[in-house]
Structure 1
Amino acid sequence: YGRRLLYHITDYSIFILGMWLTVHGQLTIGRYVAFRGYCARFSEGIEKLADMYQSIATSRRASQRYFELVDRKPNIGDAQDSVSDAVAMADNFRPHLTQPPLIEYCNVSFAYPAESATLANAGRRTNEVNGAAKDTATGPIDRVSFELPPGSFTALVGPSGVGKSTLASFLLRFYEPQNGSIMVDGEELGDLDVHWWRQQVGYVEQEAAVFNRTVHENICYGLSSASTSDSSANVRRAAKAAHAHEFIQRLPYQYATVCGERGGRLSGGQKQRLALARALSRDPCLLVLDEPTASLDTESERAVADALEELRRRNSTTVLMITHRLETVKKADNVLFFDRNGEMTAGRHEDLMRDKPRYRRFVSSEWHTQLPDE
């Protein structure tokens, strides 16, 4: 606004001065018109230069933030004695691990720093002490212990914001527990090579990441070269397991169909099944699902649920699923209920309904329209 105001003040001043000189015979009308034209062209160029400078300054600040992020070293690294890719290759990609493995959480504790409270969505606020911000921890995870038996299908449930996604993210090593440990077949998770370990884990989140590539490339994304040598057969196998093969066959170019920017040519349910196929294509020993059916319509939710039910019956993969779907909870081999007090309760759905009043109250409030009359 300041630049525009200065431009208009200058323009009006030139107009008034030119008219005064013309009226008093010191300037001809022709010269005045020519002078006005030159001033307009000159000021237009100056304005473009000013806009260009502002754009460059804005881009420079943005690029600085970008490169700060790119250059930042991750806090999560590999231990000095971690299992390397070379050892993994020599031991059939499963060093020291059974298929599927036993996962154990041992007295795990974690809290987000106060400055990350908004991102963590933990619902806590920074305390003010004597006018200064005091760092507090947000997040209720405190000495949590449980296990995921080999080949089991475990449902993780609880109110929003209690830390379910954080608990699951430990398995991908997106975060590290501040206290306690996570064991994988007796090996501490932090001792495994982080890149190798992530190749063994499948992950499907609530908003599926689909790229502007073909269906085949989206399913293969992230696989190592050793896994993509027979990719066509592997992709079709994974697509069938995820109940995605049928809708892919109906696409214009089937597996060669380009999905569009952010999967814009696919429905929400199709994108989720594509993401599930991508996770299954690596034949994971562990599958982590973070509310994959939360935003789907009934038909799409049923298709994804059927694929997960078949996976549960095969017992070939250890599955941890964060869910708000009662049918999934009922069919799970084990239910982990994480309440607002940070207490973890484990058991089958029927046993928890019978023995745990807190769980009964949660089920009643969460799925009251789906509960049968007692």
Structure 2
Amino acid sequence: GATRYLFELLNNDTDAEQQDGQQAIEMGNISFNNVAFSYPNNPEKKVFNMLNIHIKQGEKTVIRGPSGNGKSTLAKLLLGYYLPTSGEIKIGEKLLNKHTIASFRSNIAYVEQEPILFSSSIIENLLPDVGEKPTQEQMKKVINACKKANAHEFIELLPNGYYTPISDRGNQLSGGQKQRIAIARAILQEPELVILDEFTSALDSKNRHCIEQAMEQLLLNKTVIIITHKESQFEKADNLIML
């Protein structure tokens, strides 16, 4: 039964991301124009109705609001996991749709509360297409990114350093260590848009401070969207959106 469901997903031709006819889209101001959205499994319940927001390129925007008001859904729409039920999302002058999602997604780094790590080594999580062994130049970039993310020191202490297996979902690492790996991966990606979704809410104060220091390296000269309840994040923001 599970295998049949997987094949149904693979054969789904209505998925937002299609492999042919992709168009390039560059980073610019982000606009949600009269956006309405409801999840496919609950079409009667609208998460958004006539949502209009404007996020300027290069600025830091904090999004806050009660749980269930659509903060994470907004991030999923930007990542192209779903398309609006009606209305439009524009990046600069271009529409974000099934023909532009792939190129825009490549410009995004998404750091969430529980980062997704694979059951492989740290280096394979940082460079998914690394093959058997990274080149000297690739390794230099990885180490530099990990130093910026305050991750290099603890990685060096692991039994096999960057080649240490971290088990399923990174279970051999602490919450703070997993977050720092996710930040290093984002730095390596060199994104133009960074989305932070409650990324420090599960951490203690010591780890939170370490992560926030690392984030300063990632967020330089980027468009940043922070989904958070923490008032400490509001002071450094250019904009505050309440949902």
Shorter-chain-normalised TM-score: which range?
0.7 to 0.9
- C-alpha displacement at 1:286, in angstroms? 0.9
Consecutive unaligned residues of structure 2, counting only runs of 5 or more, are none
Task: State the distance in 2 between where 1:249 and 1:243 align.
Answer: 12
Aligned equivalent of 1:70: 10
- CA distance in 2 between partners of 1:245 and 1:284 (Å): 21
Q: Say which of 106, 125, 130 aligns to 1:199.
A: 106
In the other structure, the counterpart of 1:167 is 74
Shift of 1:147: 1.8
Q: 1:111 maps to what in 2?
A: 38
- What SS does the aligned partner of 1:137 have? coil
Give me the TM-score of the superposition, normalised by structure 2: 0.87
Shift of 1:270: 0.6
Closer, same or farther: CA 171–250 of 1 in aligned 2, 3 Å: same
In structure 2, the residue matched to 1:217 is 124
Residue aligning to 1:102: 29
How far off is 1:291 after superposition? Answer: 1.2
Residue in structure 1 matching 2:242, options 313, 337, 342 = 337
Counterparts of 1:144 and 1:184 in 2: how far apart (Å)?
A: 16
* C-alpha contact (below 8 Å) 2:120/2:165 kept by paired residues: yes
What is the aligned partner in structure 2 of residue 257 from structure 1?
A: 164
Kindly indicate whether residue 209 of structure 2 is the aligned counterpart of residue 306 of structure 1.
Answer: no
| C-alpha contact (below 8 Å) 2:35/2:84 kept by paired residues | yes
Alignment deviations for residues 126-149 of structure 1 (CA, whole Å, 9 cap, x no partner) = xxxxxxxxxx52133111112221
- Tell me the distance in 2 between the aligned counterparts of 1:255 and 1:236: 9
Q: C-alpha offsets along residues 183-209 of structure 1, whole Å, 9 cap, x if unaligned?
A: 112111116533332222111222111
Q: Distance in 2 between matches of 1:272 and 1:335?
A: 24
Percent identity between matched residues is 36
Read off the aligned partner of 1:73 and give its amino acid letter. Answer: D
Paired position in structure 1 for 2:204: 297
Q: Which amino acid aligns with 2:154?
A: F
Query: What are the Cα deviations for residues 11-43 of structure 1, in whole angstroms up to 9, with x where unaligned?
Result: xxxxxxxxxxxxxxxxxxxxxxxxxxxxxxxxx
**Is 1:317 matched up with 2:222?**
yes
User: How far did 1:310 drift?
Assistant: 4.1
CA drift of 1:79 comes to 9.9
Distance 1:143 1:166 in 2: 15
Q: Is contact 2:198–2:226 with CA below 8 Å preserved after alignment?
A: yes
Q: Is the 8 A contact 1:210 1:263 kept in 2?
A: yes
In 2, Cα distance between the equivalents of 1:102 and 1:242? 27
Aligned to 1:184: 91
Q: Which structure would you say has the larger RCO, counting Cα contacts within 8 Å and 6 or more residues apart? A: 2
- Please tell me whether the aligned partners of residues 25 and 103 of structure 2 are also in contact (alpha carbons under 8 angstroms): no
User: Residue deviations 1:64-85, cap 9 Å, x none?
Assistant: 33332333334314598641xx
**Cα RMSD over matched residues?**
2.7
Is 1:247 equivalent to 2:154 in the alignment?
yes
Contact residue 149 and residue 184 of structure 2 kept, 8 A: yes
Count of residue pairs brought into register by the alignment: 241
Q: Quickly say closer, same or farther: Cα 1:229–1:150, change in 2 above 3 A.
A: farther
TM-score normalised by the chain length of structure 1: 0.58
* Partner AA of 1:241 in structure 2: K
Query: Compared with structure 1, are the counterparts of its residues 329 and 192 closer, same or farther at alpha carbon in structure 2 (3 Å cutoff)?
Result: farther
Larger Rg: 1
2:52 match: 145
TM superposition shift of 1:229 = 9.1
- The alpha-carbon distance between structure 1 residues 229 and 336, as it changes in their structure 2 partners (threshold 3 A), is farther
Distance 1:230 1:200, change over 3 A: farther
Give the corresponding residue for 1:278.
185
